Structure 1
């Protein structure tokens, strides 16, 4: 018995020693791995764009500027940052204001934010003044996805996912709101507007509306989905109507002259996970023009000017911004790495 007991004790000691050695090795490996990852992150930041803290304003100030949500690794990730519009790859000035989605015009900004809770996140839409200070906030009922400000700065709009998390499939629902920043009057769900489809009044339980782009302080365009199809609709805040204009249009963006709409269009033969191509519609003639961008664009493109579109594509650290001529000529060009949600000012 004593021999058996002795062997048992020895075996236990060997097992204990092995466990200690293993834990030590794992611990050292974990430390080294963390240090390696930290080093990689530092290297990524060093190789990425320079980002510094400074004053960011929505007021005119000596030249045209581009504002974005900065995605470069480092302490200013997710902050709204600015660069000169003609030097988008240059050093960025970060504001300290974090947003998931952002847009600005005429001294007004809309910032969609996450509020991190103990059990789950909630979301809010924050209207900002020209100095990026909060003017008003609204609870948002889902995950932020689109945001726009009218050319005058008087109206803001945002869209959130209230179920699902992608436009690619059909299992999603959205909620789109419009707010008048002069009165804080809220249209909290554009699905309650009267729909005129193909010239007739239309009602359906499956209507979704998203991706507002403003013409002025009354009229706007957006996407309406119903019956498995999407439509460009012209909206009117005074009459509370949505009128279909064109089929197979998602996330429209109105040109500065109000004559064209850039949008993502589902194309036959594309992957179900990447179904879109970037097009431009002439509102007067109904003619569609495919841009030279052949990759799938899941974004609400922005008109940088009257002839150039800016949009986000997946990048190494989230998204990168690209540009392409709206006329269907030329070729896509990288504009700005590690950035999303652009807005031009000035």
Structure 2
């Protein structure tokens, strides 16, 4: 057993005990909390609490939370579809689990690698994920990723975006990596990150045509997230164009191509998530290794603030 897998298994055991304790403290009995991620009144946010799928009130995100029994390394939700990247276990590899809002398992896809990113299209139809196959940081040399997309309506499954044709290039680069998918409203087009030749590019993809097209005016940016109104993309921009210097959360206006650095000046190694058209959220790790979800205005004003303490992987939950 390699050292990374051993560390993952030990962490899973320890975090499992913490998650049980958090459920009791939150006042939500496990059997009640597991019924639906929409439990509780009013709009809610989905997060991970020590690796366990949970929800909190959007009006009181630091308040009590409903903690389910679903364990995920990454999670995202839209229109009642939940994408849960399950961690590597003692006797099996990780997997993608597609759940409905009642946490019923609709489909699983076996995966090889360490979960890193996931997104669901606004309609709930399309699900994307990214795994680290080798390495564990986008700032490191020699890392390798695997990014796939599932059409939950037709069952069409693309195990790796490396199967797609790169427009404008006579042949597929041998060093290409993809990660951080975000979908447009039509469920066909998407944005993602492509890395080749030592550069990161924002790209636009066409699922039906199986093509991707790098947007050359967006160099050394990654992990895009399309705003709910479809007009802007939040992403991580390398400080001074150098990933080794860290990442600044920024917003690109798709019409004007203007880029607005947001008020968060700390390095953020996360795929931003839009809470609404005015607010961007992301996870930041504390010195002790735990995470908090922070938020910041999307127009560059204001200041960052803790949105959900002791949590990660934020996503709005549709109340339908």
TM-score range relative to shorter protein:
0.7 to 0.9
Instruction: Indicate whether 1:63 and 2:32 are aligned.
Output: no
CA distance in 2, matches of 1:269, 1:152: 34
Match of 1:50 in 2: 26
The superposition leaves residues 164-199 of structure 1 with CA deviations (integer Å, 9 ceiling, x where unpaired) of: 1111212211111100111221011111211125xx
Asked if the contact 2:34–2:69 (Cα under 8 Å) also holds between the matched residues in 1, the reply is: no
1:275 deviation in Å? 1.4
Which of 175, 180, 189 is 1:206 aligned to? Answer: 175
Which of 277, 281, 294 is 2:265 aligned to? Answer: 294
Asked if the contact 2:47–2:75 (Cα under 8 Å) also holds between the matched residues in 1, the reply is: yes
Match of 1:106 in 2: 79
CA distance in 1, matches of 2:290, 2:226: 26
Match of 2:4 in 1: none
CA distance in 2, matches of 1:156, 1:137: 12
The superposition leaves residues 202-241 of structure 1 with CA deviations (integer Å, 9 ceiling, x where unpaired) of: 5310111110001031011000110000011011111111
Q: Taking structure 1 as reference, are residues 269 and 239 closer, same or farther at Cα in structure 2, changes over 3 Å only? A: closer
Aligned length in residues: 293
The superposition leaves residues 18-55 of structure 1 with CA deviations (integer Å, 9 ceiling, x where unpaired) of: xxxxxxxxxxxxxxxxxxxx9xx99xx79x97363324
Match of 1:88 in 2: 61
Q: Taking structure 1 as reference, are residues 203 and 178 closer, same or farther at Cα in structure 2, changes over 3 Å only? A: same
Q: How does 1:1-346 map to 2 (within 5 A)?
A: 50=26, 52=28, 53=30, 54-58=33-37, 62-71=41-50, 78-117=51-90, 122-197=93-168, 201=170, 203-216=172-185, 217-245=187-215, 246-268=218-240, 272=244, 275-315=246-286, 316=288, 318-346=290-318
Q: Taking structure 1 as reference, are residues 137 and 282 closer, same or farther at Cα in structure 2, changes over 3 Å only? A: same
The superposition leaves residues 252-291 of structure 1 with CA deviations (integer Å, 9 ceiling, x where unpaired) of: 000011111000011129782x511111111111111111
Q: Taking structure 1 as reference, are residues 295 and 130 closer, same or farther at Cα in structure 2, changes over 3 Å only? A: same
Q: Taking structure 1 as reference, are residues 302 and 269 closer, same or farther at Cα in structure 2, changes over 3 Å only? A: closer
Segments of 5+ residues of structure 2 without an aligned counterpart are 1-13
- What SS does the aligned partner of 2:162 have? helix
Asked if the contact 1:101–1:341 (Cα under 8 Å) also holds between the matched residues in 2, the reply is: yes
- What SS does the aligned partner of 1:268 have? helix
Normalising by structure 2, report the TM-score. Answer: 0.85
1:314 deviation in Å? 0.4
CA distance in 1, matches of 2:196, 2:130: 17
Q: Taking structure 1 as reference, are residues 162 and 235 closer, same or farther at Cα in structure 2, changes over 3 Å only? A: same
CA distance in 1, matches of 2:308, 2:235: 21
CA distance in 2, matches of 1:49, 1:293: 31
